[in-house]
Amino acid sequence: MEHKTSINHENGNDANRLLAAACRRIGDGKTTAKGYLYRGFEIRNHGYYPPDKCIWWEAVDLKTGCADFHEHTKRDIIKSIDRALDASCS
C-alpha cells in the first residue's frame, strides 16, 4: 500500500487523513475503544490528568511492554513514533 507524503495546501486535512489511515483501532466497535495499533505500538488515551490540566496519550511497545512515548495529542504521539523509528533505521 502506497501512501502520499506530500502535503496539499489547498486542502490541509489531507496530511491528517494520511496519519489517521495508518492507525488501526483496537476493540469490537460496540464498547469504548481500548486504543490504536501503530507500527508495533499500542496507543492509548489516558484521558484528562488534573495536575497537568491536559489530556495524555501513551504509546506502549508491544515487544517490550514499556511505555516509550507520552504526548498531549494522538497526532503528536504518531509523529514521535515516526521520528524515533525513522532515526533508528538511518
Any domain includes 4: no
Determine the structural domain holding residue 38 and report its residue range. Answer: 25-89
The pLDDT tens digits of the residues spanning 30-81 come to 444 578 899 989 999 988 999 989 999 999 999 999 999 999 999 999 999 9
Any domain includes 44: yes
Any domain includes 59: yes
Q: What is the pLDDT of residue 61?
A: 93
Determine which helix (DSSP H) or strand (DSSP E) holds 40, and give its type and residue range: none
Q: What is the pLDDT of residue 20?
A: 54
Any domain includes 67: yes
Residues 80 and 70 sit within 8 Å (Cβ to Cβ): no
Percentages of the chain per state (helix, strand, coil), in multiples of 5 = 30, 30, 40
Q: What is the pLDDT of residue 4?
A: 45
Any domain includes 37: yes
Q: What is the pLDDT of residue 89?
A: 81
Angle CA(58)–CA(60)–CA(64) in degrees, nearest 5? 155
- Position with higher pLDDT, 58 vs 89: 58
C-alpha grid cell, residue 34? 481500548
Any domain includes 85: yes
Tally the domains of the chain. 1
Any domain includes 13: no
Q: Which of 47, 90, 88, 48 is nearest to 68 (CA)?
A: 88
C-alpha span between 86 and 27 (Å, rounded): 28
- Position with higher pLDDT, 86 vs 7: 86
